[in-house]
């Protein structure tokens, strides 16, 4: 997208009008498709996977074992 500071006043007005038209068309499309079009274009906030305390403890123990193995070789 171009830099807005380089545009003239008529170009800015035209860009604003186009954005409004796009927003209106998007609303119409959402109404027809039940809002699925807007959701398809905008990624939702990704949910973080939760790890149980037991799984974290198991991973930590495995990492400690790996470090112990590396330190034992020295």
**pLDDT recorded at residue 71:** 92
In tens, the pLDDT along 11-57 reads: 889 989 999 999 999 988 888 888 655 455 666 777 788 899 999 99
**pLDDT recorded at residue 35:** 62
Contacts of 36 by beta carbon, 8 Å cutoff, 6+ apart: 30
This prediction has a pTM of 0.41
**Distance between CA atoms of residues 48 and 64, nearest Å:** 25
- Using 50, 70 and 90 to split pLDDT, how confident is the model at 6? confident
Contact 37, 26 (CB under 8 A): yes
């Amino acid at each position: 997208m171009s830099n807005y500071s380089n545009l003239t006043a008529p170009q800015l007005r035209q860009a604003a009008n186009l954005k409004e038209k796009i927003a209106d068309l998007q609303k119409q499309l959402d109404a027809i498709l039940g809002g699925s079009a807007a959701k398809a274009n905008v990624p939702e906030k990704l949910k973080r996977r939760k790890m149980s305390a037991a799984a974290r403890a198991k991973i930590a123990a495995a990492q400690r074992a790996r470090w112990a193995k590396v330190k034992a070789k020295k």
